[in-house]
């Protein structure tokens, strides 16, 4: 059963894609880029850098990254870097996208003094 998971994911993406086409455009220019199954967060970040973008966060599966893409050229550059599907991020929130940013904030990374 495990060997069929990539095939099932591809079928699910292909099946859902027409439904996502009617989704509203991103109002905050945040788009989720879905990369090939098996890609890790490192691969997504490198692809984003190749497209001149930096990931805001990584999805619950490591092959999804959220980027700020205000122009259609930005989205095309990410497709050229390997993204299979780019959709408004609010479409996937709560389902496939974590709410945690990729970088820790200064406040959360500071050590707490011991008493």
pLDDT of residue 101: 52
Statement: residue 106 has pLDDT above 50? no
In a domain, 46, yes or no: yes
In a domain, 114, yes or no: no
Statement: residue 24 has pLDDT above 70? no
The rounded mean pLDDT for the chain is 76
Average pLDDT of the segment spanning 32-49: 93
Q: Determine the Cα–Cα distance for residues 47 and 83; give it in Å rounded to an integer.
A: 8
Statement: residue 79 has pLDDT above 60? yes
Total domains in the chain come to 1
In a domain, 57, yes or no: yes
Q: Is the pTM higher than 0.75?
A: no
Average pLDDT of the segment spanning 61-90: 90
In a domain, 50, yes or no: yes
In a domain, 90, yes or no: yes
Determine how many CB atoms are found less than 10 A away from the CB of residue 109: 8
In a domain, 71, yes or no: yes
Task: List the CATH number of the domain containing 82.
Answer: 3.30.70
Domain extent at residue 77: 22-100
Nearest to 48 by CA among 25, 30, 28, 75: 75
In a domain, 111, yes or no: no
Average pLDDT of the segment spanning 61-84: 91
Nearest to 99 by CA among 16, 32, 21: 32
């Amino acid at each position: 059963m495990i060997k069929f998971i990539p095939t099932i994911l591809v079928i699910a993406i292909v099946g859902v894609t027409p439904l996502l086409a009617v989704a509203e455009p991103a109002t905050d220019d945040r788009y989720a880029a879905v990369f090939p199954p098996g890609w890790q967060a490192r691969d997504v970040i490198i692809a984003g850098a190749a497209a001149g973008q930096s990931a805001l966060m990584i999805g619950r599966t490591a092959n999804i990254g959220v980027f700020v893409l205000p122009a259609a050229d930005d989205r095309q550059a990410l497709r050229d870097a390997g993204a299979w599907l780019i959709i408004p991020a609010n479409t996937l929130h709560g389902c496939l996208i974590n709410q945690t940013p990729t970088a820790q904030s200064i406040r959360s990374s500071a050590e707490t003094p011991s008493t």
